[in-house]
Amino acid sequence: MKRKLGNFLKKHLLLTGILSTMLIGFCFIIGVYFISFLLGPPNLMNQQNTVYYSNSEEVIGEENGYGSRFHTDLDEISPYLIDAAIAVEDRHFYEHNGFDFKRILGAIIDNIKNLSLKEGASTISQQLARNLYLSHEKTWTRKLKEAFYTIRLEMYYSKDEILTAYLNTIYYGHGAYGIEEASNYFFNKSAGELDLAEAAMLAGIPKGPSYYSPFNNMEKATDRKEHILELLLRTNQISEDEYNSAINEKLKFAKTEDTEEDTIAPYFQDMVLEEAAALLDHNKEAVRSGGYQIFTTLDIKAQKKLENAVEKTIHPASDIETSAIAMDPSNGSIRALIGGRDYKKSSFNRAHKAKRMPGSTFKPFLYYAALNNGYTPSTKLLSKPTVFELDNGEVYEPSNFNGYYADKPITLAQALALSDNIFAVKTNMYLGSDKLVETARDFGITSKLPAVPSLALGTATVSVEEMVAGYGMLANGGKEIASHTIEKIVDPQGNVLLDLDDKEGEQILDPKQTFILTHLMTGMFDTTLNGYMAVTGSTITDQLTRTYAGKSGSTDGDSWMIGYSPILVTGVWTGYDDNRPIEVVKETTYAKNIWATFMEAAHQELPDKSFSVPDGIIGVRIDPETGKKATSYCPTSRMMYFEKGKEPKSHCTTHFPGGKNKKEKEKKGKLERLFDLFR
């Protein structure tokens, strides 16, 4: 009796669970349709071109989105094309209500069998919903939105209206959206003039425009055309004679030449699209076809000068890559950008998305921290081969370029100008590696930074964009900036949606230390700081007619140059995409030469502005060798800047006639040996 009662309860609970699940599912479906009804019909004609303008309001680009320049009615399209498109994409199009559940179930079974997610079952209505309103990302959120749009399309539009919109928006590759553009592009005829073979060829392309285009892969395109013809024959939409004639027809394609005009700053325009999508909280396709007017920060003249500098510098036969950004340091607006040498070959934006080791261009962040922790331009440390014992018991043995060392103490001013690695690692270990990470964050560096001694030599990976914005904070006196490409966005009705006023950023860095560091960074071009080797900017000094601050850097596979005036900061990277070493000597000079060529050209029409000296700073002529006040006996001297009260008090005696007496030399030697113990 108890067993029967238990079985009855189990069956009752199971039945109740099944009925409850069905009821919930039914209510959910009703809810979806009710919400879709309340939302009303989605706009089938939302395709409007978005236009990009330069900072002088010249048109630099136009986005067509997922739409054709032509609208072709269904009765103006070849019946062969209509039948072929339905046959291959959605043969039950006129029978379902937006979802082909039989195909969906079949696709699920195939995916389970093949342990993949390759098979899809999107109807024409679903594809139209995705093309018009959504991105192509594979997420559950996108799929749910797609379902809502599909229901609304089916609820408010006829099948012919949906099919017409689909054929006018589907992408056929090579920049051709819609059947009219595709027909003209591939066969130089209108969509209504397509014969059976031509229609089958075009109908096969949208599944994979680059894969099934006859201009990219004739074999694959032909196989797909024949598959579509077989579908039409099997469903009795064409006769055996029509099939044989189409199979054997030799298609006459239009003689297409690459007539694509050179686009102004294509990598920059990609960034504008990405930034606009984020600001408007839209997907990229919605921005492309939203009819917006987007006013950007691009300076067309500066862009051309940057491109010319690259073309003039890099040998055409070299396959080395480059990226560069020129930025207004007062507000972070990007005035010119190159993401690679040839956008048509590779649209990957190396300035924005690539992360590479910056080498010694990372050192200014370290020396800003050092200046904030007691260092001055005259602080001296010993430059010689050094083995550092780390806390974990391991040892670290950095080296200088080409194994050159001073083998004596050198000043911070000279260490930065010569890019002495030993000085940098000693400083990083003295401050603590966490301090450098913390300081780099203050400069806006967001990439992952390991707190290790080698970070002083730029062994983490960062983007050109991050580095240029960081240097921009030095150029503007220490104020926060955010790199950006957009100034204003206007909707199709003329409403200003966003107007990004370039307000002055918050003061983040100490203006006195920022200025001192900036002046130290002019030293890479000052031959008075030559020491055990020439200053790192000596090869381009003769090209420069203004005062710039900067720093170069290199690793085995990366070459960098970043520098600035008070009104423009520019960073250049060169290297190979596959990270192989830069072994050709001339290629190691490309970054510096591109930078120098561009900066000089860009400043021709800009005012000659000097770095402003903040209050509390004093300038003193210093002997570069000793770091002490220079005298008339010193062979060279350089104006250096200090916080008041921290400037050297004693004069250089090393260069007095006859030298110093023995007692003074011995005293000096003892002090230096004592100081060495704490370096």
Tell me the C-alpha distance between 644 and 663, whole Å.
32
Contact predicate 277/292, CB 8 Å? no
Instruction: Give the pLDDT score at 12.
Output: 61
Write the CB contacts of 580 (distance below 8 Å, at least 6 apart in sequence). Answer: 557
Segments of the chain scoring below 70 in pLDDT: 1-15, 17, 20-29, 31-41, 43-48, 64-70, 98, 100-121, 134-142, 255-262, 285, 502, 658-679
559: exposed, middle or buried (Cβ count in 10 Å: 0-12, 13-18, 19+): buried
* DSSP-derived 3-state class of residue 562: strand
The Cα 351–Cα 353 span in angstroms is 6
**Radius of gyration of the chain from Cα atoms?**
34
Active-site residue, selected from the candidate residues 36, 68, 89, 552: 89
How far apart are the C-alpha atoms of 641 and 615, rounded to whole Å? 12
Active site residue 89: yes
3-state SS, residue 415: helix
Q: In 3D, which of 157, 204, 141, 176 has the Cα closest to residue 68?
A: 176
Q: Report pLDDT for 313.
A: 97
Catalytic-role residue among 360, 378, 383, 554: 360
The pair of three-digit structure tokens given for residue 397, joined into one six-digit string: 């043995």
Tens of pLDDT, residues 43-101: 665 556 789 999 999 999 887 655 555 678 999 999 999 999 999 988 888 888 767 66
Please report the DSSP string for 350-388 in residue order: TTTT--B--GGGGHHHHHHHHHTTT--TT-EEEES---E
Determine the pLDDT at residue 221.
Answer: 92
As a residue count, the chain comes to 679
Backbone angles phi, psi at 548, to 5 degrees: -125, 155
Which residue, among 80, 91, 166, 178, has the nearest Cα to 130 in the 3D structure? 166
User: CA-to-CA distance for 408 and 404, rounded, in angstroms?
Assistant: 12
Among 572, 571, 573, 576, CA closest to 557: 576
Using DSSP's 3-state secondary structure scheme, residue 531 falls into coil
State both tokens at 441: 């964050």
Residues 6+ apart with CB under 8 A from 128: 153, 162, 165, 166, 169
| Residue-level pLDDT at 117 | 39
What is the average pLDDT score of the chain? 87
pLDDT for 170 equals 86
* Host H or E run for residue 490: strand 486-490
Backbone angles phi, psi at 200, to 5 degrees: -65, -40
Chain-centroid distance of CA 608 in Å reads 31
> Is 245 a residue of the active site?
no
Chain Cα centroid distance, residue 125? 34
Quick one: pLDDT at residue 369? 98
**Lateral strand order in the sheet of 293-296:** 59-63, 50-53, 293-296, 486-490, 496-499
CA 50/CA 65 separation, integer angstroms: 8
> Quick one: residue 103, left, alpha or beta (phi over 0 = left, psi -120 to 50 = alpha)?
alpha
Decide: 418 and 533 in contact? Cβ < 8 Å: yes
At residue 540, φ and ψ (nearest 5 deg) are -120, 0
Structure tokens at 528: 């008075």
Strand locations in 211-333 (E): 293-296, 321-327
String of b and e for 384-420 (b: at least 16 CB within 10 Å)?
Answer: eebebeeeeeeeeebebeeeebbeebbbbbbbbbbbb
For residues 150 and 123, is the Cβ–Cβ distance under 8 A? yes
pLDDT per position as a tens digit, 499-513: 987 677 899 999 999
